[in-house]
Amino acid sequence: MSATSSVPVPSGTRRALPAMLILVAGCVIALVTFGPRSVFGLFLLPMSQEFGWGRDVFGLAVALQNLLWGVGSPFAGAIADRFGTVRVLCCGALLYAAGLVLMAYADTPGMLHLTAGVMVGFGLSAASFNLVLAAFGKLLPDEWKSIGFGAATAAGSFGQFLFPPLSRALMDTIGWHETLIVFGAALLIVMPFSLALATRGVAAAKPGAVAAAPQQGIGAAIGEALRHPSYVMLVLGFFTCGFQLAFVTVHMPAFLVDNGMSLSVGAYTLALIGLFNILGSLTAGYLSSRVSRKWLLAWIYAGRGVAIAVFVLMPITPLSCYVFGAAMGFLWLSTVPPTSGLVMLMFGTRYMAMLYGFAFFSHQVGGFLGVWLGGTLYVATGSYTWVWWLSVALSFASAAINLPIKERPVVRVPVAA
């Protein structure tokens, strides 16, 4: 299909938006929203040193952020499914931006937890690639969906590649307070681009894999999903993804400083994760429509376990950090296209934002524990060793739990007229 292929848009719109415009707008939103939250680990040491905090204080703030991002996602998804994506994205971007700006003035643990934790967490739940993926599922033609999921994830990855060196440069030039303010202002870009993702009034599904359930309400959709064993296993497996991503994002720079590396090595390692995640996400998006998604997820999780184990066992050098960043980056968000694709396959697109939001909640519970345990166990033991090896064990557990998943639509009985 050409780049100008038309797709359905809200009723009352005279002209359909080109698919490429929708794709580009969603990718810009994913990039801008994912970038700032991927560099929080670079603020751990300067904020902790300036205010005399332990790493557990900053770790708890970002742990709350991850948890509330997950808690808010199903609700943000349900509102977007009911009232459209634009309002949710705009409100989320404003709250996210306010959280970053006020974080620059957070000089007490409570203020840090409110801004970096509560405000940014709930802001992310309403303005991140979760809603972009759901909008793509509703707006893009069938043949564009899998690559669209991969492209949105890759765009978030490019944000992670772009923002670490940008953050380091700004922090060295204008200071960490001002850097947070700049990032808050940048988030306002989300608002005009969100207009291309208007979904209110879009037909929920095309004739296809999932039998229509025109009278199914939100409660029935949630109950159907939670009674579906394959969905439950998918959600449980996604926990590990969040645990590993959040732990590495927040604690990796400090871990490397502890091992004699500079903070710049940490920034470049995070940037390499973002760079190689672009390739990994696009590859996963391409493969998701061509191979078994559950096997793809199993190989991704197992690959992460191997990469982490090798990194922890080898001497820490700049080269080993960069190799780990490249390997982990290729497997970083590559779980998202097959996971979102399985949700859409099982239940269709009508409540996709909400049902993917529940899967993402599991992801963010893992993120909460990864960040919180990282800070807490470091304060208790002076080392991150226990968390690294827990990450390895969770990798292989998630690889195993994805294998029994049945890749087929839920069976529904059509409702009589």
**pLDDT digit string, tens, across residues 384-417:** 999 999 999 999 999 999 999 999 888 765 544 4
4, two tokens: 């100008």
**Number of Cα atoms under 13 Å in the Cβ half of residue 186:** 21
Model confidence, pTM: 0.74
Q: What is the C-alpha to C-alpha distance for residues 93 and 125, in angstroms, rounded to an integer? A: 10
Please tell me what DSSP assigns to residue 118: I
In the prediction, which pLDDT does 394 show?
96
- Short-list 344, 333, 305, 280, CA closest to 134: 344
Tokens 């940490």 belong to which residue? 266
Give me the amino acid identity at 257. V
Domains and CATH numbers, the chain: 17-198 (1.20.1250.20), 219-410 (1.20.1250.20)
Q: Is the pLDDT of residue 207 over 70?
A: no
Phi, psi angles (nearest 5°) of residue 213: -130, 70
Please tell me what DSSP assigns to residue 197: G
User: Which tens digit of pLDDT belongs to each residue from 142-195?
Assistant: 777 777 877 887 788 788 788 888 988 999 899 999 999 999 999 999 999 998
Residues 6 or more apart in contact with residue 272 via CB below 8 angstroms: 161, 322, 325, 326, 329
CA–chain centroid gap for 334, Å, is 11
In the prediction, which pLDDT does 4 show?
39
Phi, psi angles (nearest 5°) of residue 413: -90, 120
Q: Is the pLDDT of residue 50 over 60?
A: yes
- The pLDDT confidence band at residue 310, using thresholds 50, 70 and 90, is very high
- Short-list 146, 164, 187, CA closest to 29: 187
**Helix-strand-coil split of the chain, %, nearest 5:** 75, 0, 25
Buried b (16+ CB within 10 A) or exposed e, 301-324: bbbbbebbbebeeeebeeebbebb
CB 63 within 8 A of CB 368: yes
